[in-house]
Structure 1
Amino acid sequence: MNKRTFKKFMSFLIGFAWLTTCISVSSCSEFNIGEYELTGDISELIPKSAYNLEKQNSVSSDGATYIFYAPKMSSNFELWKLSIKSVDYYIDNKLTKTSTEEPYGFYINLSELPEGNHTLFAKICVCGKKCDDTYLEVTDNFMAFPSSVQLYKDIFIDYNFINEGEKFVITPILNELRSSPECQIDKVEYYWDNKLAATKTQAPYTWDSQIVTDKEPHDWRVYVRYSFNGKNESSYNYGFSNYTTLKEDNHFTVWNVMSGRNDFSLGESIPSIIKSYRGKNFKDKVSAKLYFDDTLIAETSSFPFKNEFKLTNQSIGIHKMKCAITVTSGDQKTTSYDEKSIVVTP
């Protein structure tokens, strides 16, 4: 190949590369690839795995049974700069409610529906600055039972984390004010590493034990046998896998809602507790903040810390309660989050 032919060939390659680059850039814009903000018609771009309905069942203090729904969107919606505009809820093909404010929820009093199978259909309208409004559809089937007073219980399991040589203590607590009248604990069985370790038949049903650290981790289970004045016997089970003692330079800070149920009616307070367990050589500073629907409701650096958040004017439906735990070591801060769903009932 002579020099003249070689120059023409190279000019062709450079021109072809430039043309290919232009086509590639144009395609990126046209098909919304290479940028997070979606544009135009996005109805075929959002996978079904990115959205769903959160569903919670609840029994109120008067025995009425409810189902609560709220849209559950993946974190990708923030990356795509999309938000919910409204949600239309249909029961058996009849439009029942349109929710236009967060958390865009809907609840059903099952006693108000005919007995049998029913279908909930939700149309979630999402919008963005540069894209067309798009409707995402979700269907759920549920059953309405005959009207009757439901029996309900609220059992909270309290336990600790320990350093080597300390006692592990666990106690089941019956919240009588949040349980049906005549609800009672009859017997509590404790299993440690799959073996029956203790049986308690009298309050406070507490079990404590010395931990054998050379066989860690451990697995424990609690079986709470309860009834309603000796009738309608049932059990509540709770367990923990891979339980270990604290290491000398480590810590474990945990937040719990002090209830076996996550539904609370307006006027009630949500009791929660933050406990911080520290190894013998752990010196870092630990602090925590509590949020209800992203609104700061409490903060502390002293543990254990109890909080009672009273529900006053919150909307009926599913909400989020979150605890942010921050560990400060010198100039470095590390924050972890624990989030729980809270259902506000009528």
Structure 2
Amino acid sequence: MKHKASNLKFHLVILLMTVITFTSCKDENIGDYILTGNIESLIPENSWKIKQTNTSDGKYILFTPDLNSNFEYWGLSLKKVEYYIDGSFYKTETSRPFELMINKENFSIGMHNIKVVLLIVSETCEDIILEKSTEFQIRSNETEYNISPGDFYIDYNRVIQGDYLVITPELLVESSSKGCKIDKVEYYWDEKLIATEKTMPFTLKYKVNDNIGTSHNIKVSIYYHDDKNDFLIYNWGFIGYKVYSDDDALMSWSIKSTRNNYKNNGLLSLVAKQIKGKKSKKQFIIEFYLDGHLIGHSSDFPYILDYKLSGLKVGSHIVTAKSTTQEGGATITYSTDKTIVITE
């Protein structure tokens, strides 16, 4: 049933006062409505934001309009985004993810302003123009300011009481500076130095007899050098590392690299692990997706996927891990996302 825009506004304002949002077409509490007319004033200010992503190499910034899920529920969609930098028109984007990627070398050192203008459309409402502005900063020596020359993956396991904690640092050569080499690695358990390793593979093996359920802090200090620096340190930590029991089971996943910038023809390395006590009946399945496309899956752990990136457009891409837990007749599935950026 269609109502006039004024009646719709009355109902939506009432709903805003009670749940700090508004609804569109179908809500069992207020009846069946179709949005019509100009509803721009009804869209909450906090319903969207400008997402800013810096690439780990310090060269690029990505700006993306981040709309919450209510826009889809309201029957609204994003059609066009215009970007203005320092008061001047810069670019228009008309396809997902509607993002702008800028090279910092094209801008002077200092503060800059970016304005993002959205064109929102609907089958029944008038087109809506939304805009927001934010600032970004360009620094000198941006690359040196942001990242460590060495890119390391810390391979560690979870433990059940009485197991050995095993940690091995892996130097990711392709994403590290030229000539990177590990000299020694120090391991700390609850702020106490428990081992110093000076030879490859620099692995720690430490028996954990602490009580079940207790949490601990791990620190790994990697001393290394490269062609430009004789002395470098990379510190990695895990706060709240838990000691599990034979009843526990857990699966986790990660991207090996600490960088978010990638190139076509490079490798995206993903890792999934599990800890499973002797008494646990749980079974795990992991599925990896890139921009919604399945790229790997396994029920055997640890699972390492080295996926070659190719044919991807410059900009951000979403890596999704879909984790499934099965126990008895119950199945639980959840997904988590991480963003990578293709720079060339």
TM-score > 0.5, shorter chain as reference: yes
Q: Which whole-Å CA distance do the structure 1 matches of 2:139 and 2:240 have between them?
A: 40
1:345 aligned onto 2:343: yes
Matches within 5 A, 1:158-169: 158-169=155-166
In structure 2, the partner of 1:193 is 190
Partner of 1:92: 86
> What 5-or-longer segments of structure 2 have no aligned partner?
1-5, 16-21, 26-34
Q: Which sits farther off after the overlay, 86-95 or 189-198?
A: 189-198
Aligned to 1:43: 40
From 67, 73, 80, the counterpart of 2:67: 73
Instruction: Please name the residue that 2:152 is paired with.
Output: 155
TM-score, length of structure 2 as denominator length: 0.82
Give aligned pairs, total.
Answer: 319
Match of 1:170 in 2: 167
Aligned partner of residue 55 in structure 2, secondary structure: strand
CA deviation digits over 1:181-220, x for unaligned, max 9?
A: 1233344332222333333344323222111332711122
CA-to-partner distance for each residue in 1:71-99, whole Å, 9 max, x for gaps? 22223333333332222122222222211
Mean CA deviation greater in 29-38 or 247-256: 29-38
Write the deviation string for residues 44-93 of structure 1: whole angstroms up to 9, x where unpaired: 23333332222222255xxx711122222223333333332222122222
Note if contact 1:262-1:341 (Cα within 8 Å) is conserved in structure 2: yes
**Contact 1:69–1:318 (8 Å) recurs in 2:** no
Task: Give the equivalent residue in structure 1 for 2:266.
Answer: 268
Q: Could you tell me whether the CA contact under 8 Å between 1:69 and 1:317 is conserved in 2?
A: no
Alignment match, 1:56: 53
8 Å CA contact 1:290, 1:322 repeated in 2: yes
1:135-284 mapped onto 2 (5 Å cutoff): 135-145=129-139, 152-214=149-211, 216-229=214-227, 231=229, 234-284=232-282
> CA deviation digits over 1:6-60, x for unaligned, max 9?
xxxxxxxxxxxxxxxxxxxx85564434744454333223333332222222255
In the TM superposition, residue 233 of structure 1 has moved relative to its aligned partner by 5.0
List runs of 5+ in structure 1 lacking aligned partners: 1-25
Which residue number corresponds to residue 327 of structure 1? 325
Deviates more, 1:216-225 or 1:233-242: 233-242
Q: Distance in 2 between matches of 1:278 and 1:226?
A: 35
> Which residue is 1:83 aligned to?
77
The question of whether the paired residues in 1 share the 8 Å contact of 2:249 and 2:282 is answered with no
In the alignment, residue 245 of structure 2 is paired with which amino acid?
K
The answer to whether residue 304 in structure 2 is matched with residue 318 in structure 1 is: no
Give SS of 2:71's match: helix
- The offset of 1:167, in angstroms, is 0.6
The aligned runs of 1:110-121 (5 Å cut-off) are 110-121=104-115
**SS of residue in 2 equivalent to 1:44:** helix
The alignment-based identity, stated in percent, is 32
Could you tell me whether the CA contact under 8 Å between 1:117 and 1:142 is conserved in 2? yes
Seen in structure 2, the aligned counterparts of structure 1 residues 234 and 279 have a Cα distance that, compared at 3 Å, is: same
Evaluate the alpha carbon distance shift between residue 144 and residue 82 of structure 1 in structure 2; reply closer, same or farther with a 3 A threshold: same
Amino acid at match of 2:219: R
- Structure showing greater radius of gyration is 1
TM-score (norm 1): 0.81
Q: Pick from 116, 126, 132 the counterpart of residue 132 of structure 1.
A: 126
Query: Is the deviation greater in 26-35 or in 182-191?
Result: 26-35
Contact 2:256–2:271 (Cα < 8 Å) also in 1: yes
Aligned mates of 1:113, 1:258 — CA distance in 2: 32
2: CA distance, partners of 1:242 / 1:292: 30
The Cα shift of 1:277 comes to 1.8
Superposition RMSD in Å: 2.8
Give me the whole-angstrom Cα distance separating, in 1, the residues matched to 2:56 and 2:342: 11
**Residue 223 and residue 331 in structure 1: after superposition, are their counterparts in 2 closer, same or farther (change >3 A)?**
same
Cα deviation, residue 145, structure 1: 4.2
Structure 2 partner of 1:6: none
TM-aligned CA distance change 1:56 to 1:187, over 3 Å: farther
Q: Which deviations, in whole Å up to 9, do the C-alpha atoms of 1:273-310 show, x marking residues without a partner? A: 11122111122332121111222222222222221222
The one-letter code sitting in structure 1 at the alignment partner of 2:311 is N
